[in-house]
Amino acid sequence: MKILSRFNLLFLMVTSISIVACDTDPEKETEIQYPEHPNIVWIVNEDMSPEHLGAYGGTGGKTPVLDQFASESLKYTNAFSTAGVCAPSRAAIITGAYQTSIGAHNMRTLGMSANALEAYPDGFKTYSTVLPDGMRGFPEYLRMIGYYTTNNSKEDYQFVAPKTMWDESSRTAHWKNRPDPNQPFFSIFNLTISHESQVWARADEPLLVDPDSVTIPPVYPDDSISRHTMARFITNVMRMDTQVGEIIQELKDAGLYENTIIFYYSDHGDGMPYFKREIYDRGLKIPLLIKAPFLEPGSVTNELVSFVDFGPTVLSLAGVKIPIAMQGQAFLGPQKSAPRKYVYAARDRMDSEYDRVRAVSDGRYKYIRNYMIDRPNYQNIQYRLNNPLMVHLLELHEQGKLTPEQERWFDETKPKEELYDTQVDPWEFNNLAGNPEYDAKLEELRKAHLDWIDYYGDLGAKPEMEMVREWWGGMDQAPTTEPAAILYEDGLVALKSPTPSASIGYRKSSSDVWQVYTKPFEWNAGDSLYVLAHRIGYEPTIEAIIVK
């Protein structure tokens, strides 16, 4: 039983967390009038490059829902993930920080089966990324000012999220479940039907598109296997489009569609071989459509946007001051920054296979730095071998039947530097790094890359288990968050954690949703009280207290 210390009201107020709405300087106010605490919805599909949508050109399928949504939205043509795979990118989204700077860069750190771990080096341990001091997932800041936050349902952040991050995170999580219909909400809907795994999981389902009519990218041979596999993938995209329509219809039926800010995007580029996991544009570039009352319907922007900007942008729109720990910048809202000059990306361990590649782009020219030049781009990832097209490409490689552009994936080594003009060479086949005409651009982007590492750091340069042992203080397992101090006087409770950067939550019965602690709250003696302390990356502590 924890002893409850007595304290004065001044201490109560000083130790509480204060998250306030962002004040707008009247002298700096723009013509845009942003709504106060608007409802915000993210519709996220997995593993899809922009071109599959009619609004971005199309590859043979039909996407009427998203094409219509694009006509009502601002379309971004230069939006990028920070990795060509989901978990590192999702870590960047939820924290607003580059995954390489916080140790969330390896794919993945949690959730591997015992069989999968047999392929990993000796001594490898699964772990939850320990975030730097002062860093939280951005939905927690929304909860602090009264938002109802839901995630349906994938997290995959490279760490176990504290229970204070979401009101709901499950397959049934929905803005409809908020207790007060006037409460503002932030809701994510993750659509998994376009994930790479669905190419083989849905192999026996009917196709919605004729294989003879689909576009075959030049990284694949134009043959029956490529066409059928792409038709399967495009069919999944078409079914995803229908699911988007169902989410939109729910908002319309509730009378919320017109005034809700809606983001639609993909968590990185295509899930197909030589797309996913790569940091060529085909692995990084995403569709991004944003509908909001203050945005011109059917408009288009070439502004550079990175996944690290998504969290800051939501906080800007919601009226929360962007925390200093965030590395991204808002591209909408009262705290909107000047357009960024570069976007950055990284590739590190993929499952059991190690590599270290970095990239920087100005929207046209792409610089890639390979730190492990003795390794090919291709990695023998067992999971990907479920895709019939991957097996087919390997067979053609063994038979010497791939074109030079297709065969390049299997080269035994990589150049130290690569430079591409993605405007004239969108598939990034022609490396300009050795062309003296582009020496100035090469030097510019090389410097941008090195400056980025100097400014934010890059934990990819450190052996993975060494990084983890440092987080754990040399122990064999993650530390445990220290229990929160529980201070009580005159019916008010204050909470404080001795562990820096721990999230603190509480609830008054075992069935309640965990509330984010921000300031002292009322509590009657004799009631139950459950207190949570959880620094991300550490083990949480939960205590139950009853005062009689």
- pLDDT tens track for 2-51: 334 333 333 333 333 444 445 444 344 457 889 999 999 999 999 999 99
Long-range interactions of 445-449: CB distance < 8 A, separation 24+: 445/342, 445/360, 445/361, 445/362, 445/365, 445/366, 445/367, 445/419, 446/367, 446/369, 446/417, 448/341, 448/342, 448/360, 448/362, 448/367, 449/344, 449/358, 449/359, 449/360, 449/367, 449/369
pLDDT value at 74 more than 50? yes
Please give the biggest Cα pair distance in the chain: 80
Task: Report the predicted TM-score, pTM, of the whole model to 2 decimal places.
Answer: 0.94
- C-alpha Rg value of the chain to the nearest Å: 24
- The per-residue pLDDT for 357 is 98
- The per-residue pLDDT for 500 is 93
Compute the mean pLDDT over every residue in the chain, rounded to the nearest whole number: 93
- The per-residue pLDDT for 209 is 98
Q: What is the pLDDT of residues 455-501, one digit of tens each?
A: 999 999 999 999 999 999 999 999 999 999 999 888 899 999 999 99
Same fold yes or no, 9-14+480-546 and 40-99+136-340? no
- The per-residue pLDDT for 335 is 98
For CA atoms 396, 400, 404, 408, give the dihedral sign.
positive
- The per-residue pLDDT for 30 is 52
Distance CA 533, CA 503 (A): 6
For CA atoms 388, 390, 394, 397, give the dihedral sign.
positive
Q: Give the position of tokens 């005409």.
A: 437
Q: What is the pLDDT of residues 180-238, one digit of tens each?
A: 999 999 999 999 999 999 999 999 999 999 999 999 999 999 999 999 999 999 999 99
Which DSSP helix (H) or strand (E) runs through 86?
A: helix 86-95
Q: Which residues contact 300 (CB under 8 A, 6 or more apart)?
A: 74, 75, 77
pLDDT value at 76 more than 60? yes
- The per-residue pLDDT for 293 is 97
What the block records as the tokens of 352 is: 């059991």
Which residue of the set 86, 87, 396, 445 is catalytic?
Answer: 86
Q: Give the position of tokens 């499952």.
A: 351
pLDDT value at 403 more than 80? yes
CATH of domain 40-99+136-340: 3.40.720.10
Q: Is 22 a catalytic residue?
A: no
For CA atoms 337, 338, 339, 345, give the dihedral sign.
negative
Q: What is the mean pLDDT of residues 294-322?
A: 98
pLDDT value at 150 more than 70? yes
What is the CATH architecture assignment of 9-14+480-546? Answer: Sandwich (2.60)
Q: What is the mean pLDDT of residues 317-326?
A: 98
Tell me what percent of the residues of the chain surpass a pLDDT of 70: 94
Domain boundaries, the chain: 9-14+480-546, 40-99+136-340, 357-453
Coil, helix or strand at residue 496 = strand
Are residues 8 and 492 in contact, defined by beta-carbon separation less than 8 angstroms? Answer: no
Distance CA 37, CA 331 (A): 17
